[in-house]
């Protein structure tokens, strides 16, 4: 198994489309890796889909690190990218190096992703210079939702679209091996994809990006309720899991689980000896 590196991802531009999914534990990472995905993202979306929060702002470096260790508990073919969470890099290159260094050394990640454009170039340069590949993240950047006023599509007017193009070019110039575009109009994503010599990875950014990413729980249909417009459920696991959990509860209550095949019995002679010692009529 040859592990994919950021260089493989970069060189895939124009050769093949890239598939990326988030994972937060070793089981889902096994599934994603076995399916042949190119990249696994330990996204700070874990705050929402694993920790049950309404946004990603409370996710700490320790949280990403914990899930990163779980994902990297087995060697992966897919490139493992870990998110730098809110407040783990904004204050400058030194802080970014310390945070990303931990995700690399303690977590096992082989690339990091950070949100922002020209405002984070010093961080990107410092990381790349230290040998840590960086994926940029532009458009809807959930860590800045308090400023944007919510989860809203970015780059809808010509001026903000032009800003995003400049941000994308600057990120690549600073050394990013790929740029994730979240919730931007299709036309803008297509333009940025043509303008960059590294892959764009889209989510809610249309079909013209070089690759796509989805949150695992969304793609598998593990969350109840309405899905976001840009999400496609490739399975509907929530009703299946609910049904299974209900069946389990019912069988435990009525005593039909566990059945004899779900346990072990003592050898006959040992059982008789045991009864001689302690009496009783333990069921067989
Ligand atoms: O945290 C996350 O899961 C992300 C998405 C854009 C995939 O960054």
Residues 50 and 116 in one domain: yes
For the segment 139-157, the average pLDDT, to the nearest whole number, is 87
Q: Which DSSP helix (H) or strand (E) runs through 30?
A: helix 26-34
Domain assignment of residue 1, yes or no: no
pTM exceeds cut of 0.75: yes
For the segment 207-219, the average pLDDT, to the nearest whole number, is 98
- Counting from 1 in the atom list of ligand 1, the atom nearest the Cα of 214 is 7
- Counting from 1 in the atom list of ligand 1, the atom nearest the Cα of 203 is 6
How far apart are alpha carbons 117 and 135 in whole angstroms?
11
Q: The domain containing residue 222 runs over which residues?
A: 6-235
CA of 106 to the centre of ligand 1 (A): 21
Question: With contact defined as beta carbons under 8 Å apart, do 167 and 188 qualify?
Answer: no
Residues 138 and 272 in one domain: no
Q: Work out the number of other CB atoms within 10 angstroms of the CB of residue 231.
A: 17
Residue with tokens 């508990």: 73
Ramachandran area for residue 151 (φ above 0: left; ψ -120 to 50: alpha; else beta): beta
Q: Work out the number of other CB atoms within 10 angstroms of the CB of residue 168.
A: 26
**182 classed as catalytic:** yes
Q: Which residues pair with 18 in a beta bridge?
A: 211
Domain assignment of residue 117, yes or no: yes
Asked whether the CA dihedral 236, 237, 239, 243 is positive or negative, the reply is positive
Residues 135 and 265 in one domain: no
Residue 135, ligand 1, Cβ within 6 A? no
For the segment 192-221, the average pLDDT, to the nearest whole number, is 98
Render pLDDT for 27-78 as a digit per residue (tens, 0 to 9). 999 999 999 999 999 999 999 999 999 999 999 999 999 999 999 999 999 9
Residues 231 and 140 in one domain: yes
181 Cβ contact partners less than 8 Å away, ≥ 6 residues apart: 138, 139, 168, 188, 189, 192, 200, 201, 202, 203, 205, 209
Residues 170 and 246 in one domain: no
Residue 28, ligand 1, Cβ within 6 A? no
Residues 142 and 252 in one domain: no
Q: What backbone phi and psi angles, to 5 degrees, belong to 112?
A: -125, 160
What local confidence, expressed as pLDDT, does residue 227 receive?
Answer: 81
Domains of the chain: total: 2
148's tokens:
């944007």
Residue 44, ligand 1, Cβ within 6 A? yes
For residue 4, which of 104, 135, 130, 110 has the smallest C-alpha distance?
110
Q: Work out the number of other CB atoms within 10 angstroms of the CB of residue 245.
A: 10
Single out the catalytic residue among 62, 106, 115, 182: 182
**Probe target for ligand 1 pocket from 23, 203, 223, with the most ligand atoms within 8 Å of CB:** 203
How far apart are alpha carbons 172 and 174 in whole angstroms?
5
Residues 113 and 219 in one domain: yes
Percent of the chain with pLDDT over 70: 99
Domain assignment of residue 149, yes or no: yes
Residues 35 and 111 in one domain: yes
């Amino acid at each position: 198994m040859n592990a994919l590196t950021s260089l493989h991802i970069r060189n895939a531009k124009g050769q093949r489309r890239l598939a990326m999914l988030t994972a937060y534990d070793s089981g889902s990472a096994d599934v994603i890796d076995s399916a042949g995905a190119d990249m696994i993202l330990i996204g700070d979306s874990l705050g929402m889909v694993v920790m049950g929060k309404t946004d990603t702002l409370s996710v700490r470096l320790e949280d990403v690190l914990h899930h990163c260790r779980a994902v990297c508990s087995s060697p992966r073919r897919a490139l493992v990218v870990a998110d730098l969470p809110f407040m783990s890099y904004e204050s400058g290159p030194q802080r970014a190096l310390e945070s990303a260094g931990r995700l690399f050394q303690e977590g096992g990640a082989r690339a990091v992703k950070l949100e922002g454009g020209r405002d984070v170039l010093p961080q990107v340069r410092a990381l790349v210079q230290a040998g840590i590949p960086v994926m940029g993240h532009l458009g809807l950047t959930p860590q800045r939702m308090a400023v944007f006023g919510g989860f809203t599509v970015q780059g809808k007017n010509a001026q903000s679209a032009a800003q995003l193009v400049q941000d994308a070019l600057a990120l690549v110039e600073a050394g990013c091996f790929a740029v994730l575009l979240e919730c931007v109009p299709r036309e803008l994503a297509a333009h940025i994809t043509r303008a960059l010599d590294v892959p764009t990875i889209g989510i809610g950014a249309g079909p013209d990006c070089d690759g796509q990413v989805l949150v695992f729980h969304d793609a598998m249909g593990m969350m109840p309720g309405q899905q976001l417009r840009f999400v496609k459920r490739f399975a509907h696991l929530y009703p299946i899991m609910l049904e299974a959990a209900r069946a389990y509860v019912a069988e435990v209550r009525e005593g039909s689980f566990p059945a004899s095949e779900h346990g072990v019995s003592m050898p006959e002679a040992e059982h008789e000896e045991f009864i001689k010692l302690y009496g009783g009529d333990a069921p067989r």
